[in-house]
């Protein structure tokens, strides 16, 4: 077999007595077969004769197949007769996203798991004797498979227990990757998880400009420059293609040659960037076919660029597979403080899954735009621009690699001052970037401010001003008085205050991706807001029984309120948003304060009235007010949900930070310095106990920091308490 096939020998042969051995090389066998063709028959007969009956049955039952890019190996609900072993290439298994499909009325899929070389596809259905497929498997790069019938698989399981054990281990690993169950062996967990993360990176992208004159070539050079520390990257333009294949033009007749050239580039590089032409051309179809992510490139501040999709963009989107990610990149110069009118680009492209705001150097819109594509890379190196961890290009690269960092700001009223201190400690650490933020309740106010400005000093000044103004905003005013059916105040003064603060800024008009979690009181469910005016959702997140009633959503007319009542710790929302590494600032787990404890902000006469009410309640002469019942119910609900999320969460890369805020009122708006100091030193303690060095894997550092946060919370008596 070694001489015929040329594979390395897996067996060894030892002489047990004096022997005479003739050594024949593979070249000698080939020469023998050429001179004497009939000699191949006895050699083949001897080889087959030495094989076992089972080996010959396996070789007869299995079939080899080659699948092209975009080809479906099997569909959901298809009859399950075979399983597949991937010999070379790359594939992905998808499940139908029912929620997105229901909202958009278009079939949308999300990745279930990633298939690498030597991976077994469909083994779960075959071993469990499933009649129909539960997923859809699509080839994303030209691949070679081996088809294994289910009857052969069952024969192997019955006759060979060792093979059955190997299949069982593989099945457990596949379940672990898809469901992310916890494992007992920490070392094995880190190794497997890091390997799984590497399989999630993007291997090819396509840049589709909406008009000529856009600096999309500079964007490709920037991506390549940032990607050099991760692997090799190649930029494929139409001019480079013609120069390599030595032709003046390509048509559909050159399809085979183009595909072979493209596959060679994909095999030789870790990332390939396809640059489409800003016109209808056959090259754009090749780019769309072999790219995993299609980026539409536009620019908001350049004149004479229509927001409607051009003809070639619609053609590329129509040619791309339904499972391809389609995203929008809006380019800005460094002089742009805040993006504007993003919704005009998004509303006419309902196929988009995500959008990015990327700032490029001012030179990209001036002299670099007039340089030919093949000279931009050499001219751009002369600028010697520094690569920073917090730049827009670094954030885009981490998005492509599947290593995005997200920060979750939970509710807590005035306790967001503690989150402000923790945010400062995290920024000063300079080793953990913030790529996206999610907020609920009062935490959304802090999240959206950082998403807009991305500067801690500016955010701190605004928060200090808000804390000073809240003392007056939440007090009683005759012009804001309302019939106390839902709330004692109309909340108009609070609404006007935030409208003046944020103006017409939309959620999609921030460089840092941000979303808000609110409670829809009309339909009684949780909502994730990713577009719309910021001041509306900030006002809705600060809904309180005493001073601010729920607000009407200007889009659909539903009443929305504080998202903490439905999801006080929305780490699952941040995960769906695209974050792989999550830091959750949990300030909702404070104890329910007894009504007998005096509020330090309460006046003397109010304290006398409160003491009288408590005395009458204890005597059974007065019923508790609606405000007391609602507040206790809301706080209990948020505590139970937060504790339940942290206790049953299977996100190994989510760090929950619980500062000591047990005896702090949610309405103590005049204690910002104290709250800031508590959060800053608490987060600083966690970071100091886990210094990051380059000699340890980052995933191991992240898990240690998570364990440190849990241990520090237990030391302070703030371990999780589950309620019956």
Each residue's pLDDT tens digit, 205-225: 999 999 888 888 888 888 988
Record the tokens describing residue 134, joined without a space.
Answer: 């539960």
Sequential DSSP letters for 58-102 = HHHH-EEEEE-TT-EEE-TT-B--EEEEEEEEEEEEEEE-HHHHH
Q: Is the pLDDT of residue 86 over 80?
A: yes
- CATH code assigned at 259: 3.40.50
Mean pLDDT highest for which of 364-373, 473-482, 521-530, 532-541?
532-541
Residue 167 pLDDT greater than 80, yes or no: no
* Cβ neighbours of residue 266 closer than 8 Å, sequence gap 6 or more: 141, 203, 204, 272, 290
Determine which of 182-186, 361-365, 654-658 has the lowest per-residue pLDDT on average.
182-186
Q: What is the pLDDT of residue 486?
A: 52
Q: What are phi and psi of 434, to 5 degrees?
A: -115, 110
Residue 67: partners with Cβ closer than 8 Å, 6 or more residues away: 73, 89, 91, 139, 142, 143, 144, 145
Using CA of residue 498, residue 502, residue 507, residue 513, what is the dihedral sign? negative
| 538: in domain | no
**What distance in Å separates the CA atoms of residue 380 and residue 368, rounded to the nearest whole number?**
8
**What is residue 101's three-state secondary structure?**
helix
CB 412 within 8 A of CB 672: no
Query: Same structural domain for residues 705 and 686?
Result: no
Domain span at 712? 694-723
Question: Does 604 reside within a domain?
Answer: no
Beta strands 204-209; 293-299: pairing state: parallel
What pLDDT was estimated at residue 266?
84
Structure tokens belonging to residue 247: 């032709």
Q: Is the dihedral of CA 608, 614, 618, 619 positive or negative?
A: positive
Beta-strand ranges (E) seen in 279-321 are 293-299
Q: Do 213 and 311 sit in the same domain of this protein? A: yes
Residue 273 has pLDDT above 90, yes or no: yes
Q: From the CB of residue 210, how many other CB atoms can be counted at a distance below 10 Å?
A: 22
Q: Is residue 347 pLDDT above 80, yes or no?
A: yes
- Residue positions counted in the chain: 724
Q: Are residues 88 and 210 in the same domain?
A: no
**308 part of a folded domain:** yes
Query: What mean pLDDT value characterizes the chain?
Result: 76
At residue 274, the pLDDT reads: 92
Q: Which of 180, 215, 247 is the last residue of a domain?
A: 180
Selection from 280, 258, 273 nearest residue 207 by Cα: 273
What are the residues whose beta carbons fall under 8 Å from the beta carbon of 88, sequence distance 6 or more? Answer: 117, 143, 144
Q: Are residues 670 and 704 in the same domain?
A: no
Say yes or no to pLDDT of 171 above 80.
no
Q: Work out how many domains the chain is built from and give that number.
A: 5
- Mean pLDDT in residue range 424-446: 91
**How many alpha carbons lie under 13 Å from residue 334 in its C-beta half-sphere?**
8
- The pLDDT of residue 669 is above 90: no
Which of 383, 401, 419 lies at the terminal end of a domain, its last residue? 401
Residue 468, pLDDT above cutoff 70: yes
pLDDT of residue 401: 87
DSSP 3-state of 358: strand
Binning pLDDT at 50, 70 and 90, where does residue 270 land?
Answer: confident
Whole-number Å distance between alpha carbons of 107 and 314? 18
The answer to whether residues 313 and 176 belong to one domain is no
pLDDT tens string 675-715: 999 999 999 999 988 888 777 788 888 888 888 888 888 87
End-to-end CA distance of the chain: 67
Q: Residue 544: inside a domain, yes or no?
A: no
Residue 558 lies in a domain: no
469/624: higher pLDDT: 469
Contact 272, 265 (CB under 8 A): yes
Cα gap 659→684, rounded to integer Å: 11
Helix (H) or strand (E) holding 72: strand 72-74
Strands 436-440 and 514-520: parallel
Tell me what pLDDT residue 452 has: 93
What pLDDT was estimated at residue 434?
93
State whether 337 and 316 are in the same domain: yes
Q: Could you read off the pLDDT of 552-610 as tens digits, one per residue?
A: 777 777 878 888 777 778 888 888 888 889 999 988 754 333 333 344 444 544 555 55
Same domain, 109 and 242: no
Burial (CB count <10 Å: 0-12, 13-18, 19+), residue 460: middle
**Statement to judge: residues 654 and 669 lie in one domain:** yes
Residues 344 and 476 in one domain: no
Residues 314, 166 share a domain = no
Q: What is the three-class DSSP state of 533?
A: strand
Rounded Cα distance, 333 and 335, in Å: 5
Residue at which a domain ends, from 147, 180, 213: 180
Burial of 571 (0-12, 13-18, 19+ CB in 10 A): buried
Going by pLDDT thresholds of 50, 70 and 90, the confidence category of residue 178 is: very low
Do 4 and 106 belong together in one domain? no
292 with 146, same domain?
A: no
In a domain, 716, yes or no: yes
Q: Which of 73-87, 129-143, 262-276 has the lowest mean pLDDT?
A: 129-143
- Residue 552 domain flag: no
Q: What is the pLDDT of residue 719?
A: 56
**Is residue 616 assigned to a domain?**
no
In the numeric block, the tokens 């699509």 are attached to: 138
Name the pTM for this structure: 0.72
CA distance 261 to 684: 52
Q: Which pair of tokens denotes residue 538?
A: 């900030």
- The pLDDT score that the predictor gives to residue 630 is 53
For residue 488, what pLDDT band results from cuts at 50, 70 and 90? low
In angstroms, the CA 712 to CA 29 distance is 70
How many Å apart are CA 634 and CA 546, to the nearest integer? 13
- Taking residues 191-206, what's their average pLDDT? 54
């Amino acid at each position: 077999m070694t001489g015929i096939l040329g594979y390395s020998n897996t067996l060894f042969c030892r002489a047990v007595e004096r022997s005479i051995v003739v050594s024949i090389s593979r070249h000698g066998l080939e020469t023998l077969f050429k001179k004497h063709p009939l000699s191949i028959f006895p050699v083949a007969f001897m080889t087959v004769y030495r094989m076992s009956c089972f080996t010959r049955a396996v070789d007869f039952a299995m079939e080899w197949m080659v699948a092209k890019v975009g080809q479906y190996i099997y569909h959901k609900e298809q009859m399950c007769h075979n399983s597949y072993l991937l010999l070379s290439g790359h594939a992905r298994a998808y499940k139908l996203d029912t929620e997105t499909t229901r909202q958009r009325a278009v079939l949308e899929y999300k990745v279930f798991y990633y298939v690498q070389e030597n991976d077994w596809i469909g083994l779960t259905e075959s071993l469990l004797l499933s009649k129909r497929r539960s997923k859809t498997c699509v080839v994303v790069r030209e691949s070679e498979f081996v088809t294994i019938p289910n009857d052969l698989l069952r024969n192997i399981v019955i006759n060979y227990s060792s093979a059955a054990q190997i299949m069982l281990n593989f099945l457990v690993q596949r379940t672990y990757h898809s469901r992310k169950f916890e494992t007992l062996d920490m070392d094995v967990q880190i190794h497997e998880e890091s390997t799984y993360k590497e399989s999630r990176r993007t291997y090819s992208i396509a840049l589709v400009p909406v008009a000529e004159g856009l600096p999309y070539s500079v964007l490709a050079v920037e991506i390549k420059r940032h990607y050099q520390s991760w692997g090799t990257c190649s930029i494929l333009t139409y001019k480079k293609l013609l120069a390599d294949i030595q032709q003046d033009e390509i048509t559909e007749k050159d399809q085979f040659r183009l595909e072979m050239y493209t596959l060679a580039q994909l095999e030789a590089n870790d990332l390939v960037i396809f640059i489409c032409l800003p016109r209808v051309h056959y090259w754009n179809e090749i780019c769309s076919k072999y790219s995993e992510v299609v980026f539409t490139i536009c620019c908001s501040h350049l004149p004479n660029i229509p927001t409607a999709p051009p003809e070639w963009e619609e053609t590329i989107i129509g040619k791309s597979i339904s499972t391809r990610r389609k995203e929008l990149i809006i380019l800005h110069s460094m002089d742009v403080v805040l993006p504007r009118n993003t919704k005009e680009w998004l509303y006419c492209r309902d196929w988009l899954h995500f959008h990015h705001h990327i700032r490029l150097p001012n030179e990209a819109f001036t002299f670099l735009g007039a340089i030919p594509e093949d000279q931009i890379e050499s001219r751009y190196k002369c600028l010697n621009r520094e690569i920073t961890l917090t730049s827009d290009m670094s954030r885009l690269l981490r998005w492509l690699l599947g290593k995005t960092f997200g920060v979750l700001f939970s509710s807590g009223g005035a306790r967001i001052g503690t989150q402000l201190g923790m945010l400062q400690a995290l920024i000063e650490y300079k080793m953990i970037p913030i790529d996206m933020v999610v907020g609920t309740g009062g935490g959304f106010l802090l999240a959206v401010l950082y998403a807009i400005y991305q500067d801690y000093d500016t955010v701190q000044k605004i928060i200090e001003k808000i804390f000073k103004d809240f003392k007056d905003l939440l007090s009683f005013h005759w012009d804001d008085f309302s019939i106390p059916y839902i709330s004692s105040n109309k909340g108009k003064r609070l609404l006007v205050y935030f409208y003046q603060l944020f103006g017409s800024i939309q959620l999609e008009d921030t460089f840092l991706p941000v979303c808000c979690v609110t409670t829809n009181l009309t339909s009684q469910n949780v909502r994730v807001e990713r577009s719309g005016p910021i001041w509306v959702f900030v006002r809705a997140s600060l809904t309180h029984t005493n001073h601010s009633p729920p607000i009407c959503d200007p889009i659909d007319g539903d009443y929305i309120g504080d998202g903490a009542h439905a999801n006080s710790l929305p780490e699952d929302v941040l995960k769906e948003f695209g974050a792989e590494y999550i830091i959750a600032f949990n300030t909702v787990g404070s104890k329910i304060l007894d009504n007998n404890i005096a509020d330090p902000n309460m006046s003397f006469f109010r304290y006398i009235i409160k003491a009288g009410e408590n005395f009458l309640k204890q005597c059974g002469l007065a019923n508790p007010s609606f405000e007391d019942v609602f507040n206790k119910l809301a706080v209990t609900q948020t505590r139970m949900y937060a504790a339940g999320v942290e206790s049953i969460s299977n996100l190994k890369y989510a760090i929950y930070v619980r500062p000591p805020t047990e005896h702090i009122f949610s309405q103590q708006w005049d204690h910002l310095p104290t709250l800031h100091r508590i959060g800053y030193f608490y987060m600083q303690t966690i970071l100091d106990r886990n210094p990051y060095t380059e000699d340890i894997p980052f995933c191991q550092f992240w898990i240690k920091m998570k364990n440190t946060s849990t241990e520090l919370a237990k030391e302070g008596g703030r371990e999780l308490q589950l309620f019956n």
